């Protein structure tokens, strides 16, 4: 049994690989930009890299890159793959996910796997706790964090919890073949997350309410227009509305999901250096 872990430089994969190895499972790390550490080349936008990466693989942890998901699934079948665990997103559960930039690529990757004969498990996490690092520049500089919807709720989940769920399913495929919606243990507003982060840092973090257009102008260099609008629409829909929570993390791992406070305490350095 060899497990291919794509996107090995990503936050979830970085936690997943050592977890699998601790279980004594053979892992083949793969990346579109492999370094000299035994990582193999697998660029999910380049089907020419699939066959070599999949050779001899029985299970796969797959990032939701939609551009050639059908080709990847086909190649996985040819290689004798017996199970794919896809890192998707709970955004696919929203209204009209095909027309939503936040959800469309995840939905396309899901559908490609569901069209394939290879059994697939769909992991659908909500917002990653690590999304809070988008506030790091303002926090480090002592500036207030610009928020168009400070009261928008999210179900922030620790990336290592997503990795633990993936490891559980990869180790025991009888748990797979179905979707899992993964959430953190709490529904917190952005303002509440910043207050928790401030307590971890030992100082208050200010909040600067801004308009949608002001926020878009601030992030225009790294968040493109349609994606920014989709984010804003999603936050608006969550403004004052608690996020629905699941117990899927505990069901798969045997322990409760970690709190945002635990994430903040473990990631203080991201906001101080």
Tell whether 86 is covered by a domain.
Answer: yes
State how far the Cα of 179 lies from the Cα of 200, in Å rounded to an integer: 34
Instruction: Name the pLDDT band for 37 (thresholds 50, 70, 90).
Output: confident
Please tell me whether residues 111 and 195 are part of one structural domain.
Answer: no
Same domain membership, residue 27 and residue 45: yes
Domain end point (choices 109, 125, 141): 125
Reading the block at residue 188, the tokens are 């917190």
* pLDDT confidence of residue 1: 83
Task: Answer yes or no: is 169 within a domain.
Answer: no
Residue 99 and residue 231 in one domain: no
Exposed/middle/buried for 47, CB within 10 Å: 0-12, 13-18, 19+? middle
pLDDT at 59 over 90: yes
115 and 8 together in one domain = yes
Domain containing 38 equals 3-125
* Percent of the chain's residues with pLDDT above 70: 100
Task: Give the number of domains in the chain.
Answer: 2
Using the 3D structure, point to which of 82, 102, 125 is the last residue of a domain: 125
Nearest to 21, CA basis, from 160, 161, 167: 167
CATH of the domain at 215: 3.40.50.720
Q: What is the pLDDT of residue 2?
A: 95
Based on the fold, state whether residues 26 and 63 are members of the same structural domain: yes
30, 6 contact by CB (below 8 A): yes
Among residues 169, 157, 126, the alpha carbon closest in space to that of 5 is found at: 169
Q: Are residues 21 and 131 in the same domain?
A: no
What does the mean pLDDT of the chain come to?
A: 96
Residue 164: name the closest of 144, 177, 141, 180 by CA. Answer: 180
- Whether 248 maps to a domain, the answer reads no
* Closest C-alpha among 206, 213, 222, 123 to residue 165: 123
Q: Where are the alpha helices (DSSP H) in the chain?
A: 11-22, 50-54, 69-78, 104-115, 136-141, 159-171, 190-201, 212-219, 225-238, 248-253, 260-266
Q: Is the pLDDT of residue 259 over 90?
A: yes
262 located within any domain: yes
What pTM does this model have? 0.96
Tokens of 260: 């945002």
Do residues 131 and 121 both lie within one domain? Answer: no
Quick: pLDDT tens for 131-175: 999 999 999 999 999 999 999 999 999 999 999 999 999 999 999
Q: How far apart are CA 102 and CA 197, in angstroms?
A: 26
Query: Is the domain of 119 the same as that of 36?
Result: yes
166 in a structural domain:
no
- 193 and 107, same structural domain? no
């Amino acid at each position: 049994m060899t497990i291919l872990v794509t996107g090995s430089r990503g936050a979830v994969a970085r936690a997943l690989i050592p977890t699998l190895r601790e279980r004594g499972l053979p892992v083949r790390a793969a990346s579109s930009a492999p370094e000299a550490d035994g990582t193999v080349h697998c660029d999910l936008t380049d089907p020419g890299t699939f066959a070599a990466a999949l050779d001899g693989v029985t299970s796969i942890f797959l990032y939701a890159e939609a551009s050639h998901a059908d080709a990847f699934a086909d190649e996985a079948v040819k290689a004798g793959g017996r199970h794919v665990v896809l890192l998707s997103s709970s955004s696919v559960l929203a209204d009209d996910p095909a027309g939503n930039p936040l959800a469309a690529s995840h939905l396309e990757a899901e559908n490609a796997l569901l069209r394939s004969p290879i059994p697939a498990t769909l992991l659908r996490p909500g917002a990653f706790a690590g999304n809070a690092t988008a506030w790091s520049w303002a926090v480090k500089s002592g500036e207030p964090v610009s928020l168009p919807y400070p009261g928008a709720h999210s179900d922030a989940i620790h990336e290592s919890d997503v990795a633990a769920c993936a490891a559980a399913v990869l180790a025991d495929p009888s748990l797979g073949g179905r979707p899992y919606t993964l959430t953190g243990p709490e529904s917190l507003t952005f303002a509440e997350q910043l207050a928790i982060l401030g307590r971890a840092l030992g100082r208050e973090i200010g909040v600067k309410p801004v308009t949608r257009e002001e926020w878009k102008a601030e992030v225009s260099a790294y968040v493109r227009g349609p994606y920014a609008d989709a984010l804003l629409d999603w936050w608006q829909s969550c403004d004052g509305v608690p996020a629905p929570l699941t117990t899927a993390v505990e069901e798969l791992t045997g322990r409760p999901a970690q709190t945002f406070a635990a994430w903040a305490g473990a990631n203080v350095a991201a906001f101080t250096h």
